[in-house]
Structures are given as C-alpha cells and as structure tokens.
Amino acid sequence: MSQNLHVHKNDTVIVITGNSVSKQGKVLKVFPVTASVIIENVNIIKRHARPTQKNPQGGVVQKEGPIRASNVMVVCPKCSKPTRVGHKHITDATSGKKKTVRICKQCNEMF
C-alpha cells in the first residue's frame, strides 16, 4: 500500500534524526511503498560489485542508501528554513480547475 509523502523528487531536505543528522541534500528518488527517500550525498553505503561490462574493475562501490521519509524535513525555497508542509486548495483563474499546492508553514508561501 503506497502513501502520499510530504517529500517530492528534487526537493531540498534536511535530515532531522539518525546517523546523517543535519545533512542537507536534494531528493533523488522517492519510494512511496516503503515511505523512504534517497538523498544526494547522504547516508553513503558501500556495496561490493562484481566486474561487469559496465564496470570492468568491480570492487567496492559507494552509493546513497534510503532514509525514512519521516526523518527528513523539506527546506522551503523561499525562506530557506526547514518547515512542515501544508496543503492549500486553489482554483486556476484561466481554466477554473481546482488544484492542490504545497505551502510552507513558516512563511505561508507556495512551492
């Protein structure tokens, strides 16, 4: 069962708990089923890789590991502070369609 997460791809987030606390980075991938995210240069793990055509050398490869989405906060692009994410329903002036946008709980701006 997948969940709607407060974090989207390409958001800037800060880690609020765990081994990578206070590290900041861009979200590379979101996994709604497991409620986890992969963040650029955060939670680096080492994996042993066999030699392949793509990687003929093989050896130890470092890559980002997943972090629970509940352990990160979105950084607002307007006020540059970690914030909770709110939602606001607005109607588009040109087409008249309703849509939901995310807002910053600190500065009340849309992002």
pLDDT of residue 6: 95
The CATH code of the domain at 1-51+60-75 is 2.30.30.30
Helix (H, G, I), strand (E, B) or coil at 74: strand
Question: For the residues of 7-67, what is the DSSP string, one character each?
Answer: --TT-EEEE-SSTTTT-EEEEEEEETTTTEEEETTSSEEEEEE---SSSSS-EEEEEEPEE
pLDDT of residue 13: 98
pLDDT of residue 111: 87
For residues 59 and 10, give the distance between their C-alpha atoms in angstroms, rounded to a whole number.
Answer: 30
pLDDT of residue 83: 96
For residues 52 and 40, give the distance between their C-alpha atoms in angstroms, rounded to a whole number.
Answer: 25
Total-model pTM? 0.86
Q: Where are the domains of the chain?
A: 1-51+60-75, 84-111
Per-residue pLDDT tens digits for 34-69: 999 999 999 999 999 999 999 999 999 999 999 999
Provide the pLDDT confidence category of residue 101 given band limits of 50, 70 and 90: very high
